[in-house]
Structure 1
Amino acid sequence: MTTAAPTAPSRVAHRSLWVLQVLLGVFFVVASAAPKFWGDPYAVQIFTEIGAGQWLQYFVGAVELAGGIGLMVPRLAGPAAVGLMALMIGAGYTQAVVLDEPAMVVTPVIIFVLAAVIAWGRRGSIAAWLPAR
């Protein structure tokens, strides 16, 4: 019985993943994390409604910043995508349950799917962080 050798991703797939990583990374750094650090009134309002205090706003901003930067570093792209997927699960739960805004779950779901595509495409970088068996 023979097994097929794993194939390297095509150039188009590799470049497409990089475009997606950079776009999503810039989104997280500029449009998502930065307003949380600047104290944007909308961000302050949302985190006030959550009721956990403003420390959570800065924590989420830091995670988004780290994830956005991580998407643009080859060794970190896969793990960063997985971390952002976890963050989007929390965001979706918070939108649907804590803030009682189920329609707002659409954005975290879309971002989760985009991060999942990156995580799958960069699964080799995830495996590199796992202990060898």
Structure 2
Amino acid sequence: MTTITATPTTTSPGKIRNRVLWTLQIVLGLFFLIASGGPKLLIPHTLMENNTTAFSIPLALLIFIGLAEVAGGIGLMVPRLTAAAATGLAILTFLAAGYNAFLAGSPKLAPFALVLTAIFAWIAYERRATLTTLRTLIQR
């Protein structure tokens, strides 16, 4: 009698999904840290002076948005904070899409923010186990 043994695959779908998620998290985290939130914190007056139509919001709100984006970008790259950061960034980008579509007068920018919202919602869903870990750490 012969025995048939299956050869194990080198990567499982879970490993591939995890690599895709981490790649997205790092790329988007660096984007929000360096390109999106960073300038709002470092040079907010210059941004408002050079682009008066796009930044018709108060300076304090612009700085708050910059802080939220930087915190979300850092949170995406910290394993215990990924789901919470992705949830916060999904809300932020959804509100940005609404602002661009209805208040800023530039609805052509809304689809980009909505795609980011969908990506962040997917990351938050896939990393939902970190929310219970985070809750357990907070309750200690």
> Contact conserved, 2:37 with 2:70, CA < 8 A, in 1?
yes
The 1:112/1:42 distance shift into structure 2, 3 A limit, reads: farther
What is the percent sequence identity of the aligned residues?
36
Shift of 1:11: 1.2
Opposite residue 65 of structure 1, the aligned amino acid is V
Q: Which runs of 5+ in 1 are unaligned?
A: 1-8
Shift of 1:40: 5.7
Deviates more, 1:81-90 or 1:34-43: 34-43
The aligned counterpart of 1:36 is: 40
Q: What is the 5 A alignment of 1:1-133?
A: 10-39=14-43, 43-44=47-48, 45=52, 46-47=54-55, 49-50=56-57, 53-130=58-135
Shift of 1:41: 6.7
The 1:42/1:92 distance shift into structure 2, 3 A limit, reads: farther
User: Over the residues paired in the alignment, what is the CA RMSD in angstroms?
Assistant: 2.2
Shift of 1:98: 1.1
CA deviation profile, 1:55-88 (whole Å, cap 9, x unmatched): 1111000000000000000110001000001101
Mapped to 1, the partners of 2:22 and 2:46 lie a distance apart of 31
Q: Which runs of 5+ in 2 are unaligned?
A: 1-12
Question: What secondary structure sits across from 1:69 in the alignment?
Answer: helix
> Contact conserved, 1:43 with 1:57, CA < 8 A, in 2?
no
The 1:10/1:126 distance shift into structure 2, 3 A limit, reads: same
Shift of 1:128: 3.2
Give the alignment's TM-score, normalised by structure 1. Answer: 0.82
